[in-house]
Structure 1
Amino acid sequence: MTPDERLIRDEILTISEVDVTKCMHCGKCSASCPAYDVMDIKPHQFPSYMAHGEIRELMNSTTIWECLGCSTCIERCPRNVKPGKLIDGVRQAVIRQRGGSHLYPEQIPAMVDPQMPQQLLVSVLRRERK
């Protein structure tokens, strides 16, 4: 793994807050995933790819765009690995490499729809602050 890939891996792990070493590859996350059929790398494979430093493969995966973010994989995981958060962390790393950046609270008033649930705003800020 190159130094750049190590930095990206560390960024993904910081964003996702996932311990990939806890995964026992049981496949429950993938078995419950509604988008399983369209994914090139399945949710249960993400921790393994990350642990083996296969960062470029994850970043080039179509899975990061196909994931519905439904959190079913997170709920079904017996080891609390949170593969959905790992997928989202990879997606965020790709977006940031393409020029996207963090979302700051002062940017929100211009973006707020009066019908938007406050919980959504809090969730986005928590994810984007890392």
Structure 2
Amino acid sequence: MEKIEEISGENVYSCYQCGKCSAGCAFSSSMDKTVNQLIHLIQVGQKRKVLDANTQWICASCLTCSVRCPREIDVAALMEAVREYQLREEPEKIKISDIPKEAYDTLPNIAFVSNFRKKTG
């Protein structure tokens, strides 16, 4: 999970799990793990659970979590790093052709952008 820290430039171990990131997240009710839960999984090295979560894909990168963090962790950068890490580890996990067209209006655009960025370099 050190790769996530390397990609984001953030120290996940400085998070003390106050939960302000999750409390301020407009999309937390749609996430299977709250933002601080995902950070905890990264801290304890639960790679499979991190990659199986939908949190990083639901994140809209609105920066509310980053602004509210008392430790000044750029949580949005961490979410982007998790997406990037996942696409590197499991490049075929997300195929645009597998996503129903009806979901295009409900999925965060960043999920599509991250996917295509990985595919195109």
Amino acid at match of 2:73: V
Structure label with greater radius of gyration: 1
Matched, 1:16 2:8: yes
Aligned partner (choices 43, 47, 55) of residue 51 of structure 1: 43
Aligned residue in 2 for 1:60: 52
Aligned partner (choices 61, 68, 83) of residue 75 of structure 2: 83
Aligned residue in 2 for 1:34: 26
Percent identical: 33
Cα displacement string for residues 55-83 of structure 1 (whole angstroms, at most 9, x for unaligned residues): 11111111111110111100000101222
| Kept in 2: contact 1:28–1:77 (CA 8 A) | yes
Aligned partner (choices 57, 63, 66) of residue 74 of structure 1: 66
Whole-angstrom CA distance in 2 between matches of 1:84 and 1:55: 19
Matched, 1:94 2:86: yes
User: Could you tell which deviates more after superposition, 82-91 or 33-42?
Assistant: 82-91
Q: CA RMSD in A?
A: 1.9
Q: Structure 1 residue 37: deviation in Å?
A: 0.4
Aligned length: 94
Amino acid at match of 1:15: I
| Kept in 2: contact 1:30–1:43 (CA 8 A) | yes
| Kept in 2: contact 1:29–1:72 (CA 8 A) | yes
1:96 partner SS: helix
Q: Which has the higher helix share?
A: 2
Aligned residue in 2 for 1:117: none
Q: Return structure 1 stretches of 4+ with deviation > 6 angstroms.
A: none
| Kept in 1: contact 2:38–2:55 (CA 8 A) | no
1:92 partner SS: helix
Amino acid at match of 2:81: G
TM-score between the two structures when normalised by the length of structure 2: 0.70
TM-score between the two structures when normalised by the length of structure 1: 0.65
